[in-house]
Amino acid sequence: MLDSKESVRAVDQKDMLGSIEHLPQNLTDGLRRGRMSGLPRFVPKEVVVCGMGGSAIGGDLLREWLGLTSEVPCHVFRSYSLPAHVGKDSLVMVASYSGNTEESLSMFEDARKKRAKIVVVSSGGQLAKMCDSLSVPFARLPTGMMPRASLGYMFGAMLGILERSGISTVDKQVEEAIRVMNKATAYCKQSVPTTDNPAKMLAHELYACIPVIVGYELSSPVARRWANQLCENGKVLAFSSELPELDHNEIVGWAKDARSRNFALVFLEHDRRPSPMRKRVIATKDALGKSAPVYTVDALGLSPLAKMFSLVIIGDYASAYMGALRNEDPSSNEPIDDLKAALAKK
């Protein structure tokens, strides 16, 4: 089914696969938009990303990447308020693709009360109006996308904002990230047959299982992205886990609970050099392989950003193919829309 362009197009009505293919270009354009946000040069004591869902995952990636490249710490909050340490020396990036996410609007107001330096990343909505009225720096994204498909714009804009603040420079890593994403697309796009397409093959392998995506170090936030995309695009239950924490609790359940045979594990690998973590990854895969199927996806590239985004785009493709296999539009969002409607009534 996945090799039929007509069959896939009939299911993928809003062209999620097309959005995935444009991820490299979106990253470049997002970087430009972040650089144009209007944020004055300001080196903060911390970076704080506020958001939910597909708008917040860029913050998770940013936190991991910034921890490898800068001494300025980064925090991500998914809530209605911010902790007490956020203040006038904090750079708060409020990320909401729609601009109407109630939690993000609440965190925006809390950041104002705490006198933090605020910059908004959004396509419009209430946040855009608030930025206009309050003269808050604003990185405007294009409209018309699903929030989870806006990751390239979101993350790129955050990088551009960091450049404006004087925290980091990113050109070489972004260039490599674009190269490896284009390389991954060359063998994951829909026109490549299943026998030569790792994303399609993985979707088939995971079809009858509950996927658990395992990351470590820089692939930990990517594992969360994979799980989120499988839930939303693929319309399946999916979860993420992280090494080495998995080995200190979760491994017991895998070994002792007979229901583990209903799951499948996907390890997102990015460094095969000898190290304590490398030994742990190998030993953990061997141990868990006795209870459930284990698969491996390897990152491409050399820089942290390239490795992260090569894994991101492969996972995005696999999730869209999972939705197509289930005869579900990868872009549909009915349960989320229904919950929002129910909350509005309350």
Q: Which residue has the tokens 């093959």?
A: 201
Catalytic residue numbers read 232, 248, 340
Please, are residues 101 and 52 in contact by the beta-carbon 8 Å criterion?
Answer: yes
Q: List C-alpha distances in Å: 160 to 53, 64, 70, 138.
A: 21, 17, 15, 12
Distance of alpha carbon 93 from its chain centroid, rounded? 16
Q: Count CA atoms closer than 13 A to 182's CA, side-chain side.
A: 11
Is residue 107 a contact partner of residue 48, using CB atoms and an 8 Å limit?
Answer: no
Residue 183's closest CA among 331, 298, 68, 55?
298
User: Dihedral sign, CA of 24, 25, 30, 31?
Assistant: positive
